[in-house]
């Protein structure tokens, strides 16, 4: 892209780990259909700021940034060791903060952009009792980290919405591992959020992904 | 205490930091009034398990354990550096998990005990917009860590309530720094929770602490 | 009581229906132990204002008013007829508004008093999925009315707390019909709320009432 | 439409009152663009079932039904008379139940259809403190009725989602009266919900509608 380009090419940038990685093809397809660029990074990218400074140097604009970190792991609140609490929190909440900060820094100068955090049903802690039976089937560390990520998304939405940046939290309720149908639906929901005009933004959406009727492989349900 | 004691002396054990430390005198007073022992530890005690194993060796029983970690710090979701996210999370959520795990391990053999986490209004993230104006006055890292602590308390309540352990989250809404009246009221609420019979437990209580009418010192409000 | 009495006798006034009626003996006992008067009315009292104007004429003060209206009834959102929606709403939310308004009018001149609404788990609608299976076992009308009552309690707390009136919502989670142990525990929780000093009030408390271990009669669980 | 039509024409049916009426043109436009029919009724239609039985007789299918009843009115929890509580509840929650029941009855035989309830920020009662100052500016009756409507939507979603009917609650946060931009955005969000495939449904979405930057007419904000 020549340096004469003033406005730059709009880009979709995905940071993902675990099941979340599966949304990449659908998100790329949606981006290209709108003549937007797409690039995908691991959720635990060492230096998210560098991603955005490179894009800027290449005269590209981060129009939509999606962060889906972490991975559910079983473990009750009692038998989860400190390293697992730490890993869950780092991969979701801390890395979410780092990616979110870098994205907002990149979006602020032009006062526009969409930042979406992929969260989970149990980030709304009241919803937990509905789905989990015995303590050992519960992912206590993942739930706590998800609650932190949701709080982060709300802080960013409140702080930077008035500056033109649309921050949203997508509360996904899906059997694990995700079925082949789940990922494209998550990608489409991200796209719909990005398409909202700035005079009417959603900040939190739940998305209940059902297993296919003809889907017989055994799954854990979170 | 002689080794002939079979049941052991009931103890109140406090782990506290920051403003939470101020509840120690009132909690001690309440404990002694009921012929219970009391001891106080820093919230960031290096080895919480050791505290409980020593109590056990001394034929003392942890009847009520209160954890109040962390300290509110200003900082928007954008300008909070990774170390501050880390410190907030470690001091509240991770250390809360460690103290809670040690307490539950100590309480399980006799199927009784009360474990209280001192949380904050902004752990219920929906409540945040009501209290905070400009992003810079907001404690984003503290809010995320508080949301994680609340999730932890809910996981422990769900998992170990059926085993006789009463886990509760106290959602404190108070101007900072706490006035001299706030701490005794928090201690009394802990005591009231501990006094609930096991056939009717509260798991979450809000506590709105007003500044005194004659209290003119300037305060930040969280 | 002689007309020379200036301050008047403090009174506990209960308005109750259904299972809630069972708290009357325990509440009366607690009132008398503190030299307070007690009177009990049906929740659907035709003219709540008249109750309070008579108390005032008799130089008595409504110190604590408890409202527990309505009664859970099975019925899915589809098969509940308009009359059942109407009855559920009138007995809880509308009558709660009338009793609450009368109580606040009586309490405002002296800027003190406690007003407690007995609510239910399903007033927090997010909690519903946890407890209910098939739609036909669900009390949709009761849930909607309970959600309205909770909103009412929050509106009154916000509006009249600053004027010295403590309004609280007690979110009871108990098998129906209430066991003999449940009612005294609800009464004690009301008493504990009334005992809170005005510099630290709780506005919402959950109370999870377990069936007795030796309690074998079949119960519906809400 | 001839009686030979087997599948029938897909219809969008709106029941609306107050500001909600303004979504009709945009919803009609979206329907026609997809070769769907559209009809609009007052929210307080005397006999919603008759609407759907007529459609059925005309070989038309209610594919998307939107209900937006009631109208915000100022009034604190103290000074709202019984008739106003009654009117708010009837126009939102009771009529919402009647329209919803009729829609579900019509949709069940073919196991498909979308039913959307237009709700409001204050249906999530925790959000109230954020927006309201003095009690007299508050719409207590509208808030309680909105909380009831949200509970109704959740009951219907839980009960009839498994039968193929997508029930959603749209939590609108907009200055009143709605600006000319708000209504089309609400209509588009209804359309997006209707477009979700049944393997990934949203059940609650917030929609924050900002006043236009160049919109200088004075507005109340709810």
Percentages of chain B per state (helix, strand, coil), in multiples of 5: 50, 25, 30
Chain B contacts to C (CB-CB under 8 A): 161, 181-182, 185-186, 189, 192, 196-210, 212
Paired tokens of B114: 């009360």
pLDDT in tens, D200-213: 899 999 999 876 55
- Put simply, the answer to whether A204 touches D206 (Cβ < 8 Å) is yes
HEC sequence for C177-199: CCCCCHHHHHHHHHHHHHHCCCC
Placement of tokens 């007052």 in the chain: D42
Contact A126 C126 (CB under 8 A): yes
Contacts of C52 in chain D (CB under 8 A): none
Shortest alpha-carbon distance between residue A184 and chain D (Å): 10
Q: Supply the pLDDT for residue C113.
A: 97
CB contact under 8 A, A144 and B151: yes
Q: Write out the residues of chain A at the interface with chain D, using a CB-CB cutoff of 8 A.
A: 161, 181-182, 185-186, 189, 192, 196-210, 212
Q: Which of A2-16, B37-51, B137-151, C172-186 has the lowest average pLDDT?
A: A2-16
Give pLDDT, residue D197: 82
Q: Looking up tokens 């970190």, which residue turns up?
A: A69
Residue C86 CA neighbour count, 13 Å, CB half? 9
Task: Give the best residue of C127, C165, C199 to mutate against chain B (max B CB count within 10 A).
Answer: C199
Residues of B with CB under 8 A from a CB of D: 124, 126-127, 129-130
**What integer is the mean pLDDT of C177-205?**
91
Predicted local confidence at residue C180, as pLDDT:
86
Collect all residues from A whose CB is shorter than 8 A from any CB in C.
Answer: 124, 126-127, 129-130
CA distance B12 to chain C (A): 21
Cα separation, A13 vs C118, whole angstroms: 50
Sort B1 into a burial class: Cβ within 10 Å, 0-12 / 13-18 / 19+.
exposed
Average pLDDT in chain C: 86
**DSSP label at residue D90:** I
User: Which residues of chain B does D129 touch, with a Cβ-Cβ cutoff of 8 Å?
Assistant: 127, 130
Q: Who has greater pLDDT, B120 or B10?
A: B10
Reading the block at residue D4, the tokens are 């030979």
At residue A217, the pLDDT reads 41
pLDDT by 10-residue block (mean), chain A, 222 residues: 57 96 97 97 97 96 96 88 95 97 97 96 48 56 94 93 95 85 93 90 91 46 32
Asked whether the beta carbons of residue B127 and residue D126 sit closer than 8 angstroms, the reply is yes
CB contact under 8 A, D156 and C78: yes
- The Cα of D195 is separated from the nearest Cα of chain A by a number of Å equal to 11
Residues with Cβ within 8 Å of C66's Cβ and at least 6 positions away in sequence, in order, are C12, C13, C14, C15, C16, C23, C27, C116, C118, C190
pLDDT at A120: 85
In angstroms, the CA B169 to CA B117 distance is: 5
Phi then psi dihedrals of residue C170, to 5 deg: -105, 115
Contact B147, A148 (CB under 8 A): yes
Neighbour tally for B177: CB within 10 Å: 14
Asked whether the beta carbons of residue B185 and residue C206 sit closer than 8 angstroms, the reply is no
Contacts of A205 in chain D (CB under 8 A): 202, 204-206
| CA-based nearest residue in chain C for residue B198 | C210
Q: Give contacts of C159 with chain D, Cβ < 8 Å.
A: 76-78, 135, 138, 140
Q: Which of A208, A212, A213, A219 to mutate to test the interface with D (most CBs of D within 10 A)?
A: A208
How high is the pLDDT of residue A221?
34
The least confident of A111-120, B66-75, C3-12 is: C3-12
pLDDT of D133 strictly over 80: no
Task: Report the 10 Å Cβ neighbour count for D40.
Answer: 16
Higher per-residue pLDDT: D177 or A93: A93
> What ipTM was predicted for this assembly?
0.88
Cα–Cα distance for residue pair A49/A41, rounded to 1 Å: 12
Contact D148 C93 (CB under 8 A): yes
Subunits in contact with chain C (3 or more CB pairs closer than 8 Å) = A, B, D
Per residue in D32-90, pLDDT tens?
Answer: 999 999 999 999 999 999 999 999 999 999 999 999 998 888 888 999 999 999 999 99
Pick from B154, B62, B47, B171: nearest CA to B109: B62
Higher pLDDT, residue D188 or A198:
D188
Q: What is the 3-state secondary structure (H, E, C) of B19-34?
A: HHHHHHHHHHHHHHHC
Give the pLDDT of residue B217: 42
Chain B residues in contact with chain A using a Cβ-Cβ cutoff of 8 Å: 76-78, 80, 82, 85-86, 89, 93-94, 97-98, 100-101, 104-105, 122, 125-126, 128-129, 132, 135, 138, 140, 143-152, 154-156, 158-160
Residue of B26, B165, B202 to mutate for C, most C C-beta atoms under 10 A: B202
Interface A:C, Cβ pairs < 8 A: 10
- Chain B: give the shortest CA distance to residue A116, in Å: 15
What pLDDT does C74 receive?
Answer: 83
With CA atoms as reference, the chain D residue closest to C160 would be: D135
Residue A124: its pLDDT value, please?
A: 55
Q: How far from the centroid of its chain's Cα atoms is residue D164's Cα?
A: 19
Nearest Cα neighbor of D75 from D5, D132, D22, D11 is D132
Q: Could you give phi then psi for residue B131, rounded to 5 degrees?
A: -115, -15
Q: Would the CB atoms of D129 and B127 count as touching at under 8 Å?
A: yes
Rounded to whole angstroms, how far apart are CA atoms D150 and D156? Answer: 10
User: Is B203 in Cβ contact with C206 (below 8 Å)?
Assistant: yes
User: Tens digits of per-residue pLDDT, C112-143?
Assistant: 999 999 998 766 543 343 333 444 457 899 99
- Closest residue of chain B to A160, computed from CA coordinates: B135
Q: How far is CA B92 from the centre of its chain?
A: 9
| Contacting partners of chain D (3+ CB pairs under 8 A) | A, B, C
Mean of per-residue pLDDT scores for chain D: 86
* Percentage of chain D modeled with pLDDT above 70: 84
Q: What is the pTM of this model?
A: 0.90
Interface residues of A toward B, Cβ cutoff 8 Å, are 76-78, 80, 82, 85-86, 89, 93-94, 97-98, 100-101, 104-105, 122, 125-126, 128-129, 132, 135, 138, 140-141, 143-152, 154-156, 158-160
């Amino acid at each position: 892209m020549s340096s004469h380009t003033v406005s730059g090419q709009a880009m979709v940038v995905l940071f993902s780990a675990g099941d979340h990685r599966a949304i990449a093809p659908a998100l790329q397809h949606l981006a290209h259909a709108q003549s937007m660029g797409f690039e995908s990074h691991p959720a635990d990218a060492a230096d998210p700021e560098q991603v955005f400074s490179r894009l800027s140097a290449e005269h590209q604009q981060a129009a939509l940034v999606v962060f889906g970190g972490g991975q559910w792991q079983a473990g009750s609140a009692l038998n989860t060791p400190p390293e697992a609490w730490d890993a869950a929190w780092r991969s979701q909440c801390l890395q979410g903060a780092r990616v979110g900060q870098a994205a907002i820094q990149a979006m602020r100068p032009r006062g526009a952009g969409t930042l979406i955090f992929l969260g989970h049903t149990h980030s709304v802690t009241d919803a937990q009792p509905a789905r989990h039976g015995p303590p050992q089937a519960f992912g206590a560390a993942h739930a706590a980290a998800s609650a932190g990520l949701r709080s982060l998304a709300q802080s960013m939405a409140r702080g930077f919405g008035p500056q033109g940046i649309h921050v949203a939290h997508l509360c996904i309720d899906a059997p694990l591992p995700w079925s082949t149908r789940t990922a494209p639906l998550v990608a489409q929901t991200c796209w719909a959020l990005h398409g909202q005009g700035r005079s009417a933004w959603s900040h939190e959406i739940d998305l209940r992904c059902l297993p296919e009727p003809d889907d017989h492989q055994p799954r854990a349900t979170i």
